[in-house]
Amino acid sequence: MDQLTGTTRQEGTHPCPGPEEAALLRQWDSLSGGFRRLMARLLDDVEAEAGVAPSSFQVLWFLLNSPDLSAPMNQLAQTLGFSTAGTTKVADRLAQAGMIERRPSATDRRVIFATLTDSGRDVAGTAALALAAALRERVVNQLGDDRFADLAAMIGSLDQVPNRPCD
Amino acid sequence: MDQLTGTTRQEGTHPCPGPEEAALLRQWDSLSGGFRRLMARLLDDVEAEAGVAPSSFQVLWFLLNSPDLSAPMNQLAQTLGFSTAGTTKVADRLAQAGMIERRPSATDRRVIFATLTDSGRDVAGTAALALAAALRERVVNQLGDDRFADLAAMIGSLDQVPNRPCD
DNA sequence: CAAGATTGAGACCTCAATCTTT
DNA sequence: AAAGATTGAGGTCTCAATCTTG
């Protein structure tokens, strides 16, 4: 029994997690699966009410909270967690649908600003209301306000970059 | 102000969430974003150590915990949360890589069993150990055992299907 | 050369249609 | 019919390469 890894490893056998690791992994399975299903239900609600796909909605909501209802492609990629290439194509679809417009920056001609159109503003608001309603119904009402806040705080505490040596 | 929806809706303006909804949505943004980034880091660790993609790992791990190291395609689709079509192609890749074999069922000739090969068993074990290690380092050690259990329990309580009338 | 954005090729999943078996 | 599995077409994202600007 390897004290460091918890592996039970014998000659001629396969590497395999011990009972402690197995229990941990099963917990993680239900956690990640549950979160994935929850997310899917919420986004399905949004798509049913506002007719907008998840990644598109994330862009619309970000722009709705941005000054002048616009932001450079760069920032959109960051909030989406997408590559810049993927972000370009999300923006293509939104522009094709008439929800955003592309405007080159005056100060730095490399950057392109995405700006909400009037119709994009409507869709963004409608979708946001739909998500908020679904959240209250499916999450906050089930957990209670404080446990929901605990949940958000726990995940947030895990999201700190551990690669900042000292600041 | 619409007491029911929290919308501030005036003539000639756009639908837009009020301050309460906006705060809720921002909380959700950081929650879902944090979870997504966490998941990505864990699965990157697994892929770096065992060279196996997320959906493939999920299948391998499920088979490793199944009797006779095998399960029908049907069950794989359920645990993946994929369509049966998508599951077929994940199995195609795993079979191509020599990690699983397809065996038709003796009792019901519609079903196909996916079975771990010897090499698949190795990869599954290695990947599981890698994920367990990453989980301990990035999650359990940060949160503590009980808060991690709380987290899993909260998400689990949200995962009950609300469409079961009475049982 | 580095940074921002885009393009094309490729990987992965879904939907609709199909085939086989029950 | 209905259920299990597969196929082909289509949509979405990533990677590598490219182009432009700083």
Does position B5 have pLDDT exceeding 60, yes or no?
A: no
Per DSSP, A84 falls in state H
Q: What is the pLDDT of residue B162?
A: 54
B30: nearest Cα among A91, A160, A125, A127 = A160
Instruction: Summarize pLDDT for B26-80 with one digit per residue, the tens.
Output: 999 889 999 999 999 999 999 999 999 999 999 999 999 999 999 999 999 999 9
A159 interfaces chain B, CB cutoff of 8 Å: yes
Cross-chain CB nearest to A28 (options B22, B40, B135)? B135
CB pairs under 8 A between A and B: 153
How does pLDDT run across A67-77, given as a tens digit for each residue?
999 999 999 99
Rounded CA gap, B134 and B158, in Å?
Answer: 25
pLDDT digits (tens, 9 = 90+) for B19-29: 999 999 999 98
Per-residue model confidence (pLDDT) at position A3: 47
Total Cβ atoms within 10 A of residue A130: 22
Q: Inform me whether the C-beta atom of residue B147 falls under 8 Å from chain A C-beta atoms.
A: yes
Contact B20, B6 (CB under 8 A): yes
Residue B70 β-bridge partners: B115
Q: Which residues of A touch B142 (CB under 8 A)?
A: 157-158
Q: How many CA atoms lie within 13 A of B18 on its CB side?
A: 12
How far off is chain B from A85, nearest CA to CA, in Å?
A: 18
Task: Give residue-wise pLDDT tens across range A75-103.
Answer: 999 999 999 999 999 999 999 999 999 99
> Touching check for A80 and chain B: CB below 8 Å?
no
Average of per-residue pLDDT values in chain B: 90
pLDDT of residue A166: 29
State the Cα–Cα distance between residues B83 and B112, nearest whole angstrom: 16
Q: CB distance from A122 to chain B under 8 Å?
A: yes
CA distance A102 to A100: 7
Cα dist from B134 to B39, B45, B53, B60, B140, whole Å = 10, 7, 15, 18, 9
Residue B160's pLDDT band (cuts 50, 70, 90): confident
A15 neighbors B122 (Cβ within 8 angstroms): yes
Ramachandran class of A15: left when φ > 0, alpha when ψ lies in -120 to 50, beta otherwise = beta
Q: Let me know if B19 is exposed, middle or buried by CB neighbors in 10 A (0-12, 13-18, 19+).
A: exposed
With a cut of 50, say whether residue A167 has pLDDT above it.
no
Residues of B in contact with A11 (CB under 8 A): none
Mutation target for B interface from A16, A55, A119: give the one with most B CBs within 10 A. Answer: A16
Please check whether strand C approaches the CB of B96 to within 7 Å.
Answer: no
Q: Provide the shortest C-alpha distance from residue B139 to chain A (in Å).
A: 7
Which amino acid appears at position B124 of this protein? A
The percent of residues above 70 in pLDDT, for chain A, comes to 89
